[in-house]
Amino acid sequence: MVEIKTDTSLDAMREAGRVVAQALAAVQRAAAVGVSLRELDETAREVLREAGAGSPFLGYRPQFAPTHFPAVICASVNDAIVHGIPDGYRLRDGDLLSVDCGATIDGWTGDAAVSFTVGTPRPADLRLIEATRRALEAGIAAAVTGARVGDISHAVGAVGRAAGYGIPADFGGHGVGRRMHEDPAVPNEGRPGRGYPLRHGLVLAIEPMFLAGGRDAYTTDPDGWTLRTADGSRAAHSEHTVAITDEGPRVLTAP
């Protein structure tokens, strides 16, 4: 079921989105060579605590997962695409890190992600990260009243394919609101003019994820959560929670 939010609800979701932006910024500032993923998770937890926010990630268990998620961020390094569990791994010079975070305030949720490099960046990684950012911008630009979900999907996928990147077909964006994952699904590739119609008050998480090797294939780690590129190439992930409004797209997780 798709829930259309009121303007008051959108304002409430913006407050959750601000906390997500603050948490992601704090994690990116803390991410340095030698810092563990578990320490980054604690950084995000502190931001949520100070804001009086809950985590939609902590304890979350979708149908595909064998266990409840044990952290407030997903931390995916190098060939990990999404859903990486923060552990004792210490960041190394040149790592590509994707961080996904959510926050819940007064029953409303925000969800966003960012990818960045640690220490000395590889030029190929910077191009990959920039492509996910451009795809996110293209998806947001397509998120207007009167369009359809397929228009967003097409805009995102066109950027990735033009750059020669792979796109994992089974994972993409989604509705957001009282729960982190709501209808409708927002694939990262699709046909324009198809899918659920966009109207004022619909809120979507738009989240391009691209695979540098050009293949769409991925594997799942024994933890049942972490997705990795099948060819070992690197991956990047960008995400914002976006409200469809008559005035144009409203990015609820903007800094």
Looking at residue 45, its pLDDT comes to: 98
**Structural domain contains residue 16:** yes
- Mean pLDDT value of segment 8-19: 98
Of all residues in the chain, the percent with pLDDT exceeding 70 is 100
Cα–Cα distance for residue pair 143/240, rounded to 1 Å: 12
Q: Count the domains in the chain.
A: 1
- State the residue range of the domain holding 204: 7-251
User: In this predicted model, what pLDDT tens digit does every residue of 119-159 receive, in sequence order?
Assistant: 999 999 999 999 999 999 999 999 999 999 999 999 999 99
Asked whether residue 2 is assigned to any structural domain, the reply reads no
Average pLDDT, the chain: 97
Q: What is the pLDDT of residue 64?
A: 87
- Any domain includes 21: yes
Q: Is residue 175 part of a domain?
A: yes
Residue 93: its pLDDT value, please?
A: 98
Q: Please report the pLDDT score of residue 87 as a whole number.
A: 98
Q: How confident is the model at residue 178 (pLDDT cuts 50, 70, 90)?
A: very high
- Region 231-255: mean pLDDT is 98
* Residue carrying structure tokens 């060579």: 33
Mean pLDDT of 7-28: 98
- Please report the pLDDT score of residue 33 as a whole number: 98
pLDDT of 39 > 90? The answer is yes
CA 147 to chain centre: 22
CATH number of the structural domain spanning residue 33? 3.90.230.10
Task: Report pLDDT digits (tens) over 193-235.
Answer: 999 999 999 999 999 999 999 999 999 999 999 999 999 999 9
